[in-house]
Amino acid sequence: GSFGSHCVPVSEIIAVQETEVDNIQTKDEGKWQKMSQKTVETYPYAFTVFYVERARQHRWRCGNVTFFCSDGLLRQQWVQAIKEQLSLQTCRPKHLLVYINPYGGKQQGKQIYEQKVVQLFTLASISTDVIVTERANHARDHLKTEADLKKYDGIVCVGGDGMFSEVIHGLISRTQTDSGVDQNCAHEKLVQCNLRVGIIPAGSTDCICYATIGINDPVTSALHIIVGDSQALDVCSVHHNDTFLKYSVSLLGYGFYGDILADSEKKRWMGPARYDFSGIKTFLSHHYYEGTVSFQPATDILGNPRDKTKCRSGCYVCQHNGQLFSEEIRDESVEGGVSENEDEREWKVVKGKFLAINAASMSCACPRSPKGLSPAAHLADGTTDIILVRKCSRLNFLRHLLRHTSKDDQFDLTFIEVHRVRKFKFTPKYCESEDTDVKDVRKKLFSQICRDHPACSCTSVNSNWNCDGEILDHAAVEVGVHCQLIKLFARGIEEPMLYLALVLPCKL
């Protein structure tokens, strides 16, 4: 490279390698040239340090700088010293289990992994076992029962939010089974998972990657895995009548986002554009749904969904509330402890007609909306933000939606309510047909609805829940947040670094 000084923290060095001087090309006045014979003769020994270079919009790249010396022993000492420093970075993974979804997004999962990630893992001396999935739930089932997890320092999933969801379902289930915890019990404390999960984005929305790293970029994700980042993440559990349905880490959406998802699944051939298509269609159909949302507002915590400050790397709110949460758990396990905290807190009940009921456990920032559904939501504070969109005109709903893409506050509208909670319940007005004869109940339901709205086409009474991009089978759900249940190879979104340069005059 060129002459000059480079300052790189050891924690951001990817690898060091001895370099063949003969092959080095240097950039001189913008042109790549072979080094002059004279330089090669004077400095025949070189080594290259690969490191994390920050580019625009939270993008990371693998940069390198080559050092030359005249002495072979000196080079060996340098390379050895740097390797020793690297071996002291104990948070870095050495052996990873990789699942690739070849079917998500633009169906490029395999290519993205092979063309952008493999060489970086090799450079960083990370070995991998790779499984390309052959069907939906392949990764989940493999993790749940087969995979020898002791062998690995982490799991990587190549795909979208659905693929990530599969991986954490496998991992959480496995962890609970191994420690004898029953997932069907909605009030039981779940055991934290030790293995970290990395996401190489290759899906349609990639909101979990975007909201935890700041961008959906495969190389950036690979580098966060290599340096061994760690970010805790809250997980919501969703139950229906004391049976476990699913976990969610990003969006649990009923009404608008549930309907978009149900419609878009039929259009998978369109790739990521299916969401825009179904989005417009769902917007125009303007369905609302009736029901009751009950929740306990989280009052003892730091932070509020209307805050101007956001969750960033090393977030203080997440640290503080995480601490609070683990203390409460400890208190409850003590005989006669203060369990009144939880159960005797006041429940709020909101009944009405809703265009959308969204629970965002993280900001849900994604390329479509870089600030997300709930811009001030936290990754690991043990809460989820419930956003209620009451029945309003199409124009007003459009105003709300458009504000997700601008600086304006999407909650500052009369038909929007937002609450930060630890648990909530939803009960649809027209209850689901279960024990009784299905057809019978449907008939009754439709006649009742049609009496209520004579003009409606009665396509469906209830919506579906969109759970991180997967459809749930029930409308009535009970949701609880499990604080910091899993860990990612991420560090949260980094604040732009501030440099203070002190330039001293050369003449002393």
Ligand X SMILES: CCCCCCCCCCCCC/C=C/[C@@H](O)[C@H](COP(=O)(O)O)NC(=O)CCCCCCCCCCCCCCC
Q: Which residues are catalytic?
A: 161
**Residue number with CB closer to ligand ADP (218 or 305):** 218
Say if CB 294 and CB 347 are below 8 A apart.
Answer: yes
Among 252, 258, 250, residue whose Cα is nearest residue 288: 258
Minimum gap (Å) between residue 360 Cβ and Ca ion? 8
Among 487, 44, 495, 475, residue whose Cα is nearest residue 232: 487
Interface pick for ligand ADP out of 162, 255, 305, 382 (rule CB under 6 A) = 162
Contact range with ligand ADP by CB under 6 A, out of 201-209, 423-431, 454-462, 475-483 = 201-209
Here's the x/- map for ligand X, 463-482, by CB under 6 A: it reads as ---x-xx-------------
Touching Ca ion, residues 224-253 (CB under 5 A): 234
Number of residues written out for the chain:
508
**Rounded distance, CA 409 to CA 396, Å?**
14
Minimum gap (Å) between residue 266 Cβ and Ca ion? 32
**Rounded distance, CA 351 to CA 464, Å?**
18
**Rounded distance, CA 92 to CA 14, Å?**
10
Q: Could you say which of ligand X, Ca ion, ligand ADP, none residue 103 binds, taking C-beta under 5 to 8 angstroms by partner kind? A: ligand ADP
Say if CB 301 and CB 420 are below 8 A apart.
Answer: yes
Which H or E run contains 264?
helix 256-265
Buried b (16+ CB within 10 A) or exposed e, 475-498: bbbbbbbbbbbbbbbbbbbeeeee
Residue 146 per-residue DSSP state:
I
List Cα–Cα distances, 412 to 389, 396, 403, 415, in angstroms. 12, 12, 10, 9
**Residue number with CB closer to ligand X (198 or 469):** 469
Which H or E run contains 180?
none
**Rounded distance, CA 440 to CA 312, Å?**
52
Q: Should residue 262 be labelled a site residue for ligand ADP when binding is judged by CB under 6 A?
A: no
Contact range with ligand X by CB under 6 A, out of 5-13, 145-153, 367-375, 475-483 = 367-375
What is the separation, in whole angstroms, between the first and last Cα of the chain? Answer: 30
Contact range with ligand ADP by CB under 6 A, out of 199-207, 249-257, 299-307, 345-353 = 199-207
Touching Ca ion, residues 354-373 (CB under 5 A): 361
Here's the x/- map for ligand ADP, 419-458, by CB under 6 A: it reads as ----------------------------------------
Here's the x/- map for ligand X, 9-48, by CB under 6 A: it reads as ----------------------------------------
Minimum gap (Å) between residue 16 Cβ and ligand X? 36
Interface pick for ligand X out of 93, 109, 170, 203 (rule CB under 6 A) = 203
Q: Should residue 291 be labelled a site residue for ligand X when binding is judged by CB under 6 A?
A: no
**Phi–psi pair at 309, nearest 5 degrees:** -80, 150
Q: Should residue 207 be labelled a site residue for ligand X when binding is judged by CB under 6 A?
A: yes
Please name the residues in contact with 440: beta carbons below 8 A apart, sequence gap of 6 or more: 433
**Residue number with CB closer to ligand ADP (207 or 483):** 207
Q: Should residue 368 be labelled a site residue for ligand X when binding is judged by CB under 6 A?
A: yes
Q: Should residue 410 be labelled a site residue for ligand X when binding is judged by CB under 6 A?
A: no
Residue type, 162: G
Q: Is 441 helix (H, G, I), strand (E, B) or coil?
A: helix
Interface pick for ligand ADP out of 203, 255, 303, 428 (rule CB under 6 A) = 203
Question: Which residues are 127's β-sheet partners?
Answer: 95
Judging by DSSP bridges, how do beta strands 95-100 and 127-132 pair with one another? Answer: parallel
Q: Could you say which of ligand X, ligand ADP, Ca ion, none residue 166 binds, taking C-beta under 5 to 8 angstroms by partner kind? A: ligand ADP
The site for ligand ADP, by CB under 6 A, has a size of 22
DSSP letters spanning 442-456: HHHHHHHHHHH-TT-
Residues forming the site for Ca ion (CB under 5 A): 234, 361, 378
Residues forming the site for ligand ADP (CB under 6 A): 101-105, 133-138, 159-163, 166, 203-205, 469-470
Residues forming the site for ligand X (CB under 6 A): 160-162, 203-207, 250-251, 257, 260-261, 275-276, 279-280, 283, 364, 366, 368-369, 373, 398, 401-402, 404-405, 466, 468-469
